[in-house]
Structure 1
Amino acid sequence: MSNSKMLTAADFTDEDMQRWERVRTRLRAELGDAIYGSWFTRLELDRVENNSVHLTVPTKFLRSWMQTHYLDRIKARVAHEFSMDRVTIELRSPSRKAKLRDAGAAADRPAETSQPSFLEQKAPPVSAPPSAQRRPTSKAAPRSEAETVVGSPLDRRLTFSTFLIGPPNQLAYAAACRVVESRGPDCAPLFNPFYTHAAVGLGKTHLLQAMAHAASENKRRVVYLTAEKFMSGFVSSLTAQTAIAFKENLRSIDMLIIDDVQFLQGKSIQQEFCHTLNALIDAGRQVVVAADRPPAELETLDERVLSRFKGGLCVDIGPLDETLRTKILEARIEAARESQGNFSVPPEVVAYVARTIATNGRDLEGAVNRLLAHSTLNGAPICLATAETAIRDLVRTQEPKRVKIDDIQKLVASHYNITRADILSSRRTANVVRPRQIAMYLSKMLTLRSLPEIGRRFGGRDHTTVLHAVRKIEELAAKDQSLVEVIDLLKRILTEQ
């Protein structure tokens, strides 16, 4: 009898539910925990009727994503368990959620079917205003004011659907998807702040903009800003005497996304960023941050900001492996073929480029552009010899191992039997000054940091001090072969370890 009631209320039987659980188990095994946890946990069985299995999800974005990327796989699993070929994914309505909850309660307590539903039992008193049920932050600026915050422009091509996934970025991708899907007044952000870091060209900006697009589609108020845009906006608001409005507008949004936070400079700007960060997180609003290094290496940022970053989820995007580089090349080639129909790259050339260019996605895109130019301008088919010529400059300019200023300071200090604190100190004794100058010289030669940033990393010194140190070591090395040998040794250790 309970099964009959369950079929009436939820349109599926206990046996159907067991089949659906086997489908879910098989999908998790095939796709892995990361992808399954990001997309499939809120996919539910709704009803089985007319030789069709109907599934539901809570948001339009999730429905669109599932239909685009996983519908064929779901159909295959459903056909195996249900012996039905038709599968639909629909948007789950609130009334349907209550109906499914009632069905579950009816199966366990058939005599209590006249009791109110779960939603009715948990509903607030009638006297409570509707606005209080939707959002607890009564001091937030009106929606019209929040929309006046002008973010950095988004590239419409940088979406989740064009983000290619592989082992180096799978965790960051899964976490980003979960952050976007987590929403609602009763659903506090799971990872807040969400901090991702990667070297140049590995996809962190693509991931952040994809999050901004997806959150906007989910009707969330999102502002995407580069660190430069945040700084210029704050300075402009001070100049125009609208700083209070600038602060209130930023703190009234649902999601703040800041890219390239390593460029955030200035004491007052960092203080304001810290206050904004605290206000948003404390109010349950989502904060997403990206940088080119982990929080512990952002020495120029305020310690309170770094503490907030460390308290959230910190995920890195690693160097692209060959499989992922091949995917990126194939996607870029396919995009180029849409504009140039006769453009074709043989598989052996794709494999050669993926194997040869191991730096980042931008270099891979540059390789495709060079191949396209050779193909269209010369009118000759692409072959290995053509590819070698086309990408020669990209191969020659591959970046060496990334060297950190901290590692330089520690190695130089160890070589000269002093401490890193000595190098950062104001001491001017001969046994400290020369190692300090060598460390500054190596920092200029082996990193991409500017002279002012190197100076800040050496105890807050001026950029002219760094420039003097570089010139001094160059002058000494021109006439002291032993110093040249020491510097070469330190370089090899730093670039090869």
Structure 2
Amino acid sequence: MNIGQKVLFELKKEITETEYERYIKNLVYDTKRSRSNIVYFNAPNMIIAKWIKSKYSDKLVHLFELQNEVKPEIEITVGKQNTQSTKPAVIHTEKSASKSTYLNPSLTFESFIVGDSNQFAYTTAKSVAEKPGKLYNPLFLYGGVGLGKTHLLQAIGNYHINLGKTVIYTTLEQFMNSFTSHLRSQTMDRFRDKFRECDLLLIDDIQFLSRKEQTQEEFFHTFNELYSNNKQIVITSDRQPNKIAGLVDRLRSRFEMGLMADIQPPGLETKIAIIQKKCELDGIKLDNEIVNYIATNMGDNIREIEGTIIKLNALSSMLNQKITLDFAQNAIKDQLKEKKENITIDDIVKIISRELNIKPSDIKSKKRTQNVVNARRIAIYLARNLTPNSMPQIAVYFGMKDHTAISHAMKKINEIIESDENFKVILEELSNKINTQTQSSME
């Protein structure tokens, strides 16, 4: 088994079987042209090549680095090799600056969508980029999965690469793997030179430092060396330092002595803006109805939302079909089905009662005041659309005679949606909050 086959075998462990069978299985490693610093794969067509580039480039680079400690450039050719009549197309990954580890060049401050949920984190990250080692050191960014922490981290890195600075970006897992590898090979001087002789150290997912005593000791000394030399340190985590179990006190105190900035789940308007920006950057055309549908139903994980957009575009190209609302709904129905299974009618009633200032017991009662009737209709509509419950099951929950009452409520609210744009917006906001809050509670 050559190194390319080993890497693909390792990648298979990290992705779903469907992804592997549909995309990665089609890659062929070119042993003749590949070198330690440049790797060639052949893909059957441009669609698969682009999809692999956008989704798996970072993983491939990382897996090759684990094999031989060299971070290569990845090139994906399209078409048969050794064919003189057809020049193969080539997909290049971006080369990182000579003094820096690999960063995604598209993750900049300009491409980051700012909203109420991330304004503070964005502002502090930009301040750190402009005045490293002076304002907030370290900067500790924390928040849930897929909310933009890595984007801001790499935006800081990209800002300084353009200034010719030495930037080290790494996940905590990569830091640990590199530490273990150098420890075994008795080359710790090389490891320390790499991580302590940089202008900026950017560490992603520091929460995985939990209970790793040897790695914590090494990171402590690395942190101190950089800090004493006024070198900027930026760290991300899914939680605050005091909530990382098994983190030694002296590291926790150092993480807390700078500035901590959290990123909250985005509101509906911010998600819509993010989707529109992603489409603009990738040249993907989605009408407003589809954008709103994705923003309302896909929860708050921005990485997952962006992956959905890429998936829609890839499927549209492969099947040669226009992306319509029906096409989008069918393409992501399995994802939404999984989300529905995590949402209960109780969740829906609880959030609606809080947002509309109506008691949950009133929503489930037979009261006929206008505000209660509207809240009940909304609850029924969202229960039908956001949960796997059938109309008879929803009727039982709300104490109604049978499913025909649910059908009537659904018909009425659809009529209101058609005639009242403001009501439609309120409904989308409630749906978004339900998706977001139930997803957060599962994490």
* TM-score for the superposition, normalised by structure 2: 0.52
Q: Is the CA contact 1:363–1:394 (under 8 Å) kept in the aligned structure 2?
A: no
Query: Does the C-alpha gap of structure 1 residues 346 and 270 become closer, same or farther in structure 2, counting only changes over 3 Å?
Result: same
Q: Which residue of 2 aligns with 1:214?
A: 159
Contact 1:197–1:317 under 8 Å retained in 2? yes
2:147 to 202, 208, 231: 202
Give 3-state SS (helix, strand or coil) of 1:161's partner: coil
Task: Report the alpha carbon displacement of residue 164 of structure 1 after superposing the two structures with TM.
Answer: 1.6
CA distance in 2, matches of 1:212, 1:268: 27
Q: How many angstroms apart in 2 are the aligned matches of 1:369 and 1:353?
A: 12
Aligned residue for 1:429?
none
Aligned to 1:441: none
Per-residue CA deviations over 1:97-134 (Å, capped at 9, x if unaligned) read xxxxxxxxxxxxxxxxxxxxxxxxxxxxxxxxxxxxxx
Q: Is the contact made by 1:149 and 1:246 (CA closer than 8 Å) also made in structure 2?
A: no
The aligned counterpart of 2:338 is: 397
Shift, 1:351, TM fit: 1.4
1:312 Cα deviation from its structure 2 partner: 1.1
Q: Is the 8 A contact 1:158 1:210 kept in 2?
A: yes
Please state if 1:286 is matched with 2:286.
no
Which residue among 273, 295, 302 is the counterpart of 1:361?
A: 302
**Which amino acid is the alignment partner of residue 392 of structure 1?**
K
Match of 1:465 in 2: none
Please report how far the alpha carbon of residue 258 of structure 1 lies from its aligned counterpart in structure 2 after TM superposition: 0.7
Once residues 229 and 108 of structure 2 are traced to their aligned partners in structure 1, the CA distance between those partners, rounded to angstroms, is 27
Q: Which has the higher contact order (CA 8 A, sep 6+)?
A: 2
CA distance in 1, matches of 2:186, 2:99: 16
In the alignment, structure 1 residue 312 sits paired with structure 2 residue 258: yes
Residue aligning to 2:279: 333
Aligned to 2:197: 252
**Structure-2 separation of matches of 1:277 and 1:260:** 16
* 1:434 paired residue number: none
For the residues of structure 2 that align with 1:353 and 1:495, how far apart are their CA atoms?
21
Q: Please tell me whether residue 223 in structure 1 is matched to residue 164 in structure 2.
A: no
Letter in 1 for 2:124: A
- Unpaired segments of 5 or more residues in structure 2? 1-96, 344-437
Give the stretch that moved more between structures: 255-264 or 376-385: 376-385
Aligned residue for 2:241? 295
Alignment identity in percent?
Answer: 36
SS at match of 2:189: helix
Q: How far apart, in 2, do the equivalents of 1:330 and 1:259 lie?
A: 26
Q: Whose Rg is larger?
A: 1
> Partner residue of 1:55?
none
Task: Look up the SS of the partner of 2:260 in the other structure.
Answer: strand
Any conservation in 2 of the 1:320–1:358 contact (CA below 8 Å)?
no
TM-score by length of 1: 0.46
Q: How many residues align?
A: 249
Deviation for aligned residue 1:373: 4.2
- Secondary structure in structure 2 of the residue aligned to 1:398: helix
Question: Is the 1:295–1:309 contact (alpha carbons within 8 Å) kept by the matching residues of 2?
Answer: yes
Q: Secondary structure at the match of 1:220?
A: coil
8 A contact 1:159–1:207 mirrored in 2: yes
Partner of 1:177: 126
- For the Cα contact (< 8 Å) 1:375–1:382, is it kept in 2? yes
Helix, strand or coil for the counterpart of 1:164? coil
Mapped contact 2:99–2:167 kept (Cα < 8 A): no
Question: Deviations for 1:243-296, whole angstroms, at most 9, x for unmatched residues?
Answer: 234324422322111111111252111111011112221222111101111111
- Which AA in structure 1 matches 2:245? E
- 135, 154, 157: which one pairs with 1:190? 135
The structure-2 alpha-carbon separation of the partners of 1:307 and 1:334, relative to structure 1 and needing over 3 Å to count, comes to same
The answer to whether the 8 Å contact 1:149/1:249 transfers is no
Instruction: Determine helix, strand or coil for the equivalent of 1:208.
Output: helix
